[in-house]
Amino acid sequence: MPGTAALAAWVEDAARLTRPDKIVWCDGSEEEYQRLVGEMLANGQMDRMNEDAYPNSYLYRSNPNDVARTEGLTFICTEREEDAGPNNNWMAPKDAKEKVRPLFEGVMRGRTMYVVPYLMGPVGSPHAKVGLEVTDSAYVVCNLRITTRMGQPALDQLEKNGGEFFPGLHSVGDLSPDRRFILHFPEEKLVWSIGSGYGGNALLGKKCLSLRLASWMGWKEGWMAEHMLILGLQDPSGNVTYMGGAFPSACGKTNLAMLVSPLADQGWKVWTVGDDIAWLRPGPDGRLWAVNPENGFFGVAPGTNNATNPNAMASLSKNTIFTNVGLTPDHRPWWPEIQPGEKTPPAGTINWLGHPFEEQPDAAVAHPNSRFTAPASQCPSISPHWEDPQGVPISAFIFGGRRARVAPLVYQAFNWQHGVFVGAGMGSETTAAATGKVGVVRRDPMAMKPFCGYNMGDYWGHWLTMGKQIANPPAIFHVNWFRKDDDGHFLWPGFGQNVRVLMWMHGRIHGTADARETAIGYVPTPDSLDLDGLDISSKTLGQLLTIDKHDWEQEWTDQVPFFGQFGDHLPAAVAAEHQALKRRLDAMPE
């Protein structure tokens, strides 16, 4: 098989560079998983969770300097710098390889090189892509087994895909941030990652292939790779309306994707198709169809509990890898709010650094970006269509961010072009998912700032082009679950109650919900939101739906230098929408 021979040749080159003691081809079997886990238990890299409470589940503590994606060390290596754009760090491919090759030279001496063929996308899907990761981390292999379809399904697809595969070379190196590089070569469809074992840096199928390289391919080939959850909203007639949602990291994507509807007895239910990534293609019916390329969740643990996300709790109840959470004396995971309201762990809990938490009162017990890796098939709300080879048809895109002020609970863009502008201007307060300061507003267009593998200006241009190619483009909405009152209290209950906002969107899509036209888009009329049974005063609702002229003028002004950076790459239509917003704000009464 030429495909497999090419795979073997690539691995041989990688081995010549890195000089492993041993090469192990992984098949993705349960037996292999148990063997690797057994090795990590034996050498102290992993702990076994309580077998009764969390069967077949393990805890891994990463190096304390390696706990989140490192965007400053992530590069897009294209021939032309302008193709990477101001949204990315850039190195010329030749320079990048010259700089980083020496770090790979001999790095696997004394180590095993694991060769992992994996599939992103449902088995048999024409949209599925074959990845090949070589890595010296058994932890990475075990995570890939959960988050991708590993082994035979990938080799089977290789033939169907004409032998095409996307290689990635990974080594934890010496874990020094000074020698850490996450390099993407979109023109070669290649990833090199060294110096980190952390999820988004090291599981190359996820952010590296399925977003950064895939967004580039989508641009060249006429499809889209987005940082989006995919959910299905079932209405009382039994019909399911599918939506894609783009929120910056750690802003509740997983919670929304797995929402448990408090209105289930009235027939409203949410199905989960994916919680992080969507690949979208125009279908013959003029709609966009989405597949989730992943096979599992790599979710943020803190805050997850049976009140905020019972489906996530069920998903992680077995066959799960926990990373950087606390470990209770009876070997259960611990993080803040693992029980609603619980802020302190049981006595004797070991913190994520491996010490009794009582001895380190200033250290977090679980790292704020601690994670669970769990099979998607274990999610009780997983959609019966989550592995449909053609995907599911998308009727809405939801953009969102974490904003204490400015953005109302929900609004709808006037049309596709305006919606692209709404996504392009998105801002959100930063979280712990990436290193850096938490809580400052940063522009994160379509939640793709860390993941767009090319110039963001060209990316917006691609969105505009896609809109012209689809006869029935999704409606575009923006939400903000995080608006606060002047005393710093959240105005909206969030979590399951967000279904009421999805229902309003459903009403807009199907022509049954009212809205008022404002300077920024269509905002719900107070009685178009179903708030039955919720204790929300009309004053609070008013605050949630307010468009404050001065806040928005400030927002507009903040966007000026942001859009300005893109120069000639900024599509005229986005610039025009920005000007049109200014005119509408000017026309608003004081």
Residue 536's contacts (CB-CB under 8 Å, 6 or more residues apart) are: 493, 544
What would the x/- binding string for ligand OXD be over residues 265 to 284, using CB under 6 A?
Answer: -----------x--------
Residue 440's contacts (CB-CB under 8 Å, 6 or more residues apart) are: 429, 430
Closest distance between ligand OXD and the C-beta of residue 199, in Å?
6
- SS3 call for 300: strand
Closest distance between Mn ion and the C-beta of residue 233, in Å?
21
| Residue among 77 and 250 whose Cβ is closer to ligand OXD | 250
391 touches, from ligand OXD, Mn ion, none (C-beta below 5 to 8 Å by class):
none
Verify binding: residue 200, ligand OXD, rule CB under 6 A.
yes
298 touches, from ligand OXD, Mn ion, none (C-beta below 5 to 8 Å by class):
ligand OXD
- SS3 call for 218: helix
| Residue among 249 and 324 whose Cβ is closer to ligand OXD | 249
User: How many whole angstroms separate alpha carbon 49 and alpha carbon 322?
Assistant: 9
Residue list 60-99, contact with ligand OXD (CB under 6 A)? 69
E-only strand ranges, 172-316 = 181-185, 190-194, 224-226, 229-234, 240-246, 269-274, 278-282, 288-291, 296-300
* CB-CB neighbours of 347 under 10 Å: 10
* C-beta of residue 410 within 8 angstroms of C-beta of residue 478: yes
Verify binding: residue 585, ligand OXD, rule CB under 6 A.
no
Q: Across the chain, which distance is largest between two alpha carbons, in Å?
A: 72
Going by C-alpha positions, the residue among 205, 225, 242, 208 that lies closest to residue 279 is 225
Residue 522's contacts (CB-CB under 8 Å, 6 or more residues apart) are: 411, 412, 413, 414, 508, 515, 516
Binding span for Mn ion by CB under 5 A among 82-90, 91-99, 276-284, 401-409: 276-284
| Residue among 68 and 520 whose Cβ is closer to ligand OXD | 68
User: How many whole angstroms separate alpha carbon 111 and alpha carbon 339?
Assistant: 40
User: How many whole angstroms separate alpha carbon 363 and alpha carbon 109?
Assistant: 35
Bridge partners for 495 per DSSP: none
Q: Which of 142, 251, 379, 452 is catalytic?
A: 251
Count of residues near ligand OXD by CB under 6 A: 7
What would the x/- binding string for Mn ion be over residues 243 to 262, using CB under 5 A?
Answer: ------x-------------
| Residue among 143 and 498 whose Cβ is closer to ligand OXD | 143
* C-beta of residue 577 within 8 angstroms of C-beta of residue 418: yes
The only residue of 83, 276, 555, 577 in contact with Mn ion, by rule CB under 5 A: 276
| Residue among 93 and 274 whose Cβ is closer to ligand OXD | 274
| Residue among 157 and 370 whose Cβ is closer to ligand OXD | 370
Closest distance between Mn ion and the C-beta of residue 290, in Å?
16
The only residue of 181, 223, 279, 298 in contact with ligand OXD, by rule CB under 6 A: 298
* C-beta of residue 76 within 8 angstroms of C-beta of residue 453: yes
3-state percent breakdown (helix, strand, coil) of the chain, nearest 5: 35, 25, 45
Verify binding: residue 249, ligand OXD, rule CB under 6 A.
yes
Name the residue number minimizing CB distance to Mn ion.
Answer: 276
Verify binding: residue 444, Mn ion, rule CB under 5 A.
no
User: How many whole angstroms separate alpha carbon 191 and alpha carbon 360?
Assistant: 38
* C-beta of residue 231 within 8 angstroms of C-beta of residue 245: yes
133 touches, from ligand OXD, Mn ion, none (C-beta below 5 to 8 Å by class):
none
Helices (H), 176-252: 199-202, 214-221
User: How many whole angstroms separate alpha carbon 428 and alpha carbon 403?
Assistant: 6
Verify binding: residue 294, Mn ion, rule CB under 5 A.
no
Which backbone phi and psi does 296 adopt, to 5 degrees? Answer: -155, 180
433 touches, from ligand OXD, Mn ion, none (C-beta below 5 to 8 Å by class):
ligand OXD
Binding span for Mn ion by CB under 5 A among 51-59, 167-175, 240-248, 273-281: 273-281
| Residue among 69 and 145 whose Cβ is closer to ligand OXD | 69
| Residue among 207 and 281 whose Cβ is closer to ligand OXD | 207
Closest distance between Mn ion and the C-beta of residue 252, in Å?
11
229 touches, from Mn ion, ligand OXD, none (C-beta below 5 to 8 Å by class):
none
Whether 251 sits among the annotated catalytic residues: the reply is yes
Binding span for Mn ion by CB under 5 A among 20-28, 275-283, 315-323, 417-425: 275-283
Closest distance between ligand OXD and the C-beta of residue 253, in Å?
8
DSSP secondary structure letter of residue 88: S
E-only strand ranges, 348-407 = 371-375, 392-400
| Residue among 249 and 370 whose Cβ is closer to Mn ion | 249
Structure tokens at 137: 């981390």
69 touches, from Mn ion, ligand OXD, none (C-beta below 5 to 8 Å by class):
ligand OXD
User: How many whole angstroms separate alpha carbon 317 and alpha carbon 320?
Assistant: 7
Closest distance between Mn ion and the C-beta of residue 550, in Å?
33
Closest distance between Mn ion and the C-beta of residue 116, in Å?
21
* C-beta of residue 303 within 8 angstroms of C-beta of residue 295: no
* CB-CB neighbours of 69 under 10 Å: 22
Count of residues near Mn ion by CB under 5 A: 2
Contact set with ligand OXD (CB under 6 A)? 69, 199-200, 249, 276, 298, 433
Residues labelled as active-site residues: 251
Contact set with Mn ion (CB under 5 A)? 249, 276
